[in-house]
A and B are shown apart, each in its own frame.
Chain A
Amino acid sequence: MLSILWFIVAASAKNRVRAQLRRLKQPRYLVATIAGLLYFWSVFLRRLRWDGAFGDLPAPMRVLIPFGAGLVGVLLILPPWLFPKQRAALTFSEAEIQLLFPGPVSRTSLILYKLARSFLLIFISAAIATLLFGMRISGHGLWFLVGMWLALALLTVHEIAASFAREALWLRGARGVAVLFAGIGAVVLGAAALVFRSLQQLSLPDPDTLDLAGLAAFVEQVERTPIGRALLPFRAPIEAAFAPDWIHFARAAALAAAVLFALTLLLLRSDHAFEEASVIAAERRARQLEARRTGHRRLVHSQVRSRHLPATGRPEWALAWKGRIAARRLFGPQLFGLVIPVVGLSGMLVLMVRMGAPIHTAPGWNGALGLGLFLSALLLVVLGPNAVRADLRMDLPQMDLLRTLPLSGAQVVAGELLGPLGVIVTAQWACLGLALVVSLAGELPQVPVPLRIVLVLSAAVLTPTLTLLGLIVHNAAVLLFPGWVAVGIERARGFEAMGQRLLTFVGGFVVWMVALLPAALLGGVALLVVWTLAGPILAPLAAVVASAVLGFEAFFAVVLLGRRFDAWDLTLEAPPG
């Protein structure tokens, strides 16, 4: 079985590297990889210390860290038992299900195969952690590596074992569930009894004089109590990672390894619920992969009803209609979720201002809520296009279908943009409308009512074109650099992906700034003129000028992207089917 594992892992890694190297022949991917390498070097490698001056961790921390890790370990092992509907821990891919399940492979071998694979991935994670900070803080890289590996492996094996035991008990019905909760209850009661006994043996330190060394001494005292000894298996791997000498390391590592061995043995011997747990998880995984292939990873809320679309009229509105349905079904709750924290944060901000400001200048609660809603509308200009991806970002896997439609490229791009735009602008205008209504009913001493109306109207005029610009930037990235967009099953990884994200972010920011410049200039001139002539009351006219400039820019961008869509050769981006 190990030879199969090695073959799968080695072949996958080799093919992935080969594909990435092939992609490097295209300059844009080469640039992305160089950018990613530079970023990795500047953020991580440059800070590595190779001078041997490791181990600058204060001595008390060598006691406190393992103890704290032990407590964290206790917290981490609870959820798989307490939340029975959590995901199954042992998941197989579609290919593994198809090839290995019907094959002459025993159940134990399958578990061993998955465990070995997990252990290998954990080793890589532990090695990276050791390289980045473990050598520096622990003082001994190898011990840190072993300790980290043991800690992560223990958590993984425990999670799988817990999922098997849980599934087995749930399959037994009410009796099994009763046994499960009785077991959890017994453990909790036992722990409480140990804590009670331990507290009787402890002399609590004076909090006023407690320093790091005093805290470490207290923790050492706790470690000698019954609860401290019960925590020993939990803190053993981290004790190994931070061991001061060989003896401590060997003792802690041996204990952790023994626990790991025992858990693994238990796992391999359990004959319950393996099929159920793994197949259910595999099906879920297959659904996730299917969702990723089709371009979205969220559940579709089919109960969201759509309006009938008239059969006549401009055909690109059909795509806008489609996008609006998708936005509401896939991203509606997310958009709503964006507004609530913004309003909440604004409220907190106002509360802080209110606490510090003289009472006659402080905003009332209605005013604060209005301000929060106003800020939400503005923030949706940036957050909305990020969150509502019901456009080409989602439809890229359906490019075959889009290309056969009787629409020009510009019509497809426009239609794809209009759907999410409609949904985001509706949310923005709802926020602005509510902001005005709420603020009119409340107190906002520093912003007189006419100014509030001017601000809301100006924002209402500007937000659609600004949001459209944001959507264009995101969709331009899809059309210009489709290999950089995370769709399909072959997702970019490693340095290339790191560089891609970096360049996409910087590129988007630059495009955004360049596009805003003419609008800001012309809008600024217009504002100056209307302000001089009639004061702030006509400021929305300046917003109309700025919005018109943005609208022109958006129009030309859509035309250019449409040409790109028309000329796009799918076969240059992906191998022929």
Chain B
Amino acid sequence: MTEPILEVRGLTKIYGALRAVSDLGFSLEPGEILGLVGPNGAGKTTTLRCLAGIIPATRGEVRIGGFDLFRAPVQARQHLAFLPDEPRLFEYLTVREHLNLTARLYGVKDWVVRAEALLRELELLDKQDVLPSELSRGMKQKLSIACGFLHDPRLILLDEPLTGLDPIGIRKMKQSLKARAEAGAALLLSSHLLPLVEELCTRILVIAGGRAVAYGTLDEIRSALGAQTNGEGASLEDLFIRITQAAS
């Protein structure tokens, strides 16, 4: 059995009186794409931010590539890329400088070759000396993706990764995500675009009110739900509505 790239046990995040994430547990093996879905306020973004090390968890354990995220964060983050829905960029660095910065941070020796390939793939080759303020929303998203992919991360966390991309960009992004999974990366994808999740993900985790309410492949969820509510053959959208309504 392959060693999981991401292991989450008992992940809990509490804001004052609000329990945003409660006792979440799952794992991700190389080549897997896990879809994280749930209604607004379910705790998806909080979960992703905890897994990326942006905010500390109140309780629980997260291991990335065998390293405890809270005890050995530097080693754990070395294997990680986090692509938020709103691209986070330094407004004073050009496209190429962003990639140069990322290369040094992750020690990517052949970054020039990799950066050129990524920029070509993402159609940013002619924007290398441009500042983020001169890029469109979609282009900023592409730059954020290029920075995230530059060091070939073993775990990629994506929060609504297609926001701002044009149809061609969306198609290329989907192909790229599949290719990375085939190459051995594990992906955790949070999105409200259920057809995208259905198309890409090998397993799905549905959360509501910070708790996992369904977990498994689409067929597993279907059959588990079908036993109770005739869910056979239903789309993820149908299942999502039934699951979340039942949870609320």
A interacts with B:
yes
Docked pose: A83 CA to B155 CA in angstroms: 56
CB distance from A558 to the nearest CB of B (A): 16
Docked pose: A306 CA to B104 CA in angstroms: 15
* Partner of B52 from A313, A329, A330, A403 at Cβ < 8 Å: A403
- Chain B residue numbers with a CB within 8 Å of A395 are 90
Chain A residues numbered 360-412 whose CB sits less than 8 Å from any CB in chain B: 390, 395, 398-401, 403-408, 411
A445 within 8 Å of B (CB atoms): no
Chain B residues numbered 1-57 whose CB sits less than 8 Å from any CB in chain A: 13, 15, 20, 45-46, 49, 52-56
A296 within 8 Å of B (CB atoms): yes
- Chain B residue numbers with a CB within 8 Å of A577 are 45
Contact A403 B129 (CB under 8 A): no
Contact B55 A570 (CB under 8 A): yes
Contact A400 B104 (CB under 8 A): no
Closest B-chain residue to A306, C-beta based? B97
Closest A-chain residue to B85, C-beta based? A577
* Partner of A570 from B54, B93, B107, B131 at Cβ < 8 Å: B54
Contact A312 B109 (CB under 8 A): yes
B224 within 8 Å of A (CB atoms): no
Contact A302 B94 (CB under 8 A): yes
CB distance from B152 to the nearest CB of A (A): 13
A514 within 8 Å of B (CB atoms): no
* Partner of A302 from B45, B77, B131 at Cβ < 8 Å: B131
Pick out which of these stretches binds chain B: A242-250, A266-274, A275-283, A319-327.
A319-327
| Contact (A302, B104) CB under 8 Å given A330-B92, A406-B74, A570-B54 | no
Docked pose: A334 CA to B129 CA in angstroms: 24
Docked pose: A552 CA to B56 CA in angstroms: 30
Docked pose: A408 CA to B70 CA in angstroms: 11
Closest B-chain residue to A409, C-beta based? B73
- Chain B residue numbers with a CB within 8 Å of A309 are 100-101, 103-104
- Chain A residue numbers with a CB within 8 Å of B46 are 576
A571 within 8 Å of B (CB atoms): yes
- Chain A residue numbers with a CB within 8 Å of B92 are 296, 300, 325-326, 329-330, 390
Contact B97 A325 (CB under 8 A): yes
Closest B-chain residue to A575, C-beta based? B15
- Chain A residue numbers with a CB within 8 Å of B93 are 322, 325-326
Closest A-chain residue to B98, C-beta based? A322
Docked pose: A566 CA to B52 CA in angstroms: 13
| Contact (A294, B91) CB under 8 Å given A404-B80, A566-B73 | yes
Docked pose: A296 CA to B92 CA in angstroms: 9
- Chain A residue numbers with a CB within 8 Å of B175 are none
Contact A569 B56 (CB under 8 A): yes
Closest A-chain residue to B82, C-beta based? A404
- Chain B residue numbers with a CB within 8 Å of A390 are 92
Docked pose: A576 CA to B109 CA in angstroms: 37
* Partner of A400 from B13, B49, B73, B133 at Cβ < 8 Å: B49
Q: Choose among B45, B54, B103 the residue with the greatest number of A CB atoms under 10 Å from its CB.
A: B54
- Chain A residue numbers with a CB within 8 Å of B82 are 404
Contact A398 B104 (CB under 8 A): no
- Chain B residue numbers with a CB within 8 Å of A75 are none
Docked pose: A244 CA to B196 CA in angstroms: 77
Q: Choose among A321, A404, A566 the residue with the greatest number of B CB atoms under 10 Å from its CB.
A: A404
Contact B55 A404 (CB under 8 A): no
Contact A400 B131 (CB under 8 A): no
Contact B54 A315 (CB under 8 A): no
Docked pose: A300 CA to B135 CA in angstroms: 14
Contact B88 A398 (CB under 8 A): yes
B125 within 8 Å of A (CB atoms): no
Chain B residues numbered 102-153 whose CB sits less than 8 Å from any CB in chain A: 103-109, 111, 129-131, 133
- Chain A residue numbers with a CB within 8 Å of B54 are 399-400, 403-404, 570
B78 within 8 Å of A (CB atoms): yes
* Partner of B55 from A294, A322, A401, A569 at Cβ < 8 Å: A569
- Chain B residue numbers with a CB within 8 Å of A400 are 49, 54, 84, 88
* Partner of B105 from A310, A315, A567 at Cβ < 8 Å: A315
A318 within 8 Å of B (CB atoms): yes
Closest B-chain residue to A577, C-beta based? B45
| Contact (A317, B104) CB under 8 Å given A300-B92, A570-B54 | yes
Docked pose: A306 CA to B96 CA in angstroms: 10
A95 within 8 Å of B (CB atoms): no
Closest B-chain residue to A318, C-beta based? B104
Contact A310 B73 (CB under 8 A): no
- Chain A residue numbers with a CB within 8 Å of B52 are 403-404
Docked pose: A341 CA to B8 CA in angstroms: 59
CB distance from A317 to the nearest CB of B (A): 7
Docked pose: A399 CA to B129 CA in angstroms: 24
- Chain A residue numbers with a CB within 8 Å of B15 are 571, 576
Docked pose: A322 CA to B92 CA in angstroms: 9
Contact B101 A408 (CB under 8 A): no
Q: Mark B152-173, 1 if CB is under 8 A from A, else 0.
A: 0000000000000000000000
Closest A-chain residue to B81, C-beta based? A404
CB distance from A396 to the nearest CB of B (A): 12
| Contact (A311, B108) CB under 8 Å given A322-B101, A326-B90 | yes
- Chain B residue numbers with a CB within 8 Å of A306 are 94, 97
CB distance from B101 to the nearest CB of A (A): 5
- Chain B residue numbers with a CB within 8 Å of A291 are 91
- Chain B residue numbers with a CB within 8 Å of A566 are 73
Given A400-B88, A571-B13; 15 other pairs, CB 8 A cutoff: A296-B91, A296-B92, A302-B131, A306-B94, A311-B100, A315-B106, A315-B107, A400-B84, A404-B52, A408-B74, A569-B56, A570-B55, A571-B15, A571-B55, A576-B45
What are 23 A-B residue pairs whose CB atoms fall within 8 Å in the complex? A291-B91, A302-B94, A302-B131, A309-B101, A311-B109, A315-B104, A315-B105, A318-B105, A322-B101, A325-B97, A329-B92, A330-B92, A398-B90, A400-B49, A401-B90, A404-B52, A404-B53, A406-B74, A406-B75, A406-B78, A407-B105, A566-B73, A570-B55
Binding site for B on A (CB under 8 A): 291, 294, 296, 300, 302, 306, 308-313, 315, 317-318, 321-322, 325-326, 329-330, 390, 395, 398-401, 403-408, 411, 566-567, 569-571, 576-577
